[in-house]
Amino acid sequence: MGDAELDPVIHAQARLRVVATLAALGPGDRISFPRLQDTLDMTAGNLSTHLRKLEDAEYVAILKTHEGRKPASYVELTSRGRLAFETYTASLTALLRGTAP
């Protein structure tokens, strides 16, 4: 990316909220889909749509499993996603300061 360009995958407000929430977790830590949904106050369909776009970019990984007989999904930020978020925040800071990263 060029100077201070903002990653369009992350820049959408809902996806930025998702990535920022996941970035607050430790590397390799996961959050359950319902907890992420509650934290972000998003509908399941809306969150799923944004997670799909982030997953296509390889910024998040989704683990689908079962807890007893119930399906469960966990979401985590990949190392690529963490780097993209760090780059995004550096670019945004540079843009706001009027400087190149």
Domains of the chain, first to last: 8-96 (1.10.10.10)
Residue 32 main-chain phi, psi, to 5 deg: -70, 150
Question: pLDDT confidence of 101, banded at 50, 70, 90?
Answer: low
Q: pTM for the full model? A: 0.89
What is the pLDDT at residue 2? 46
Check pLDDT > 50 for residue 1: no
Sheet arrangement for strand 31-32: 31-32, 70-77, 60-67
Tens digits of residue pLDDT in 29-80: 999 999 999 999 999 999 999 999 999 999 999 999 999 999 999 999 999 9
Question: pLDDT confidence of 100, banded at 50, 70, 90?
Answer: low
Check pLDDT > 90 for residue 3: no
Identify whether the C-beta of residue 11 lies closer than 8 Å to the C-beta of residue 89: no
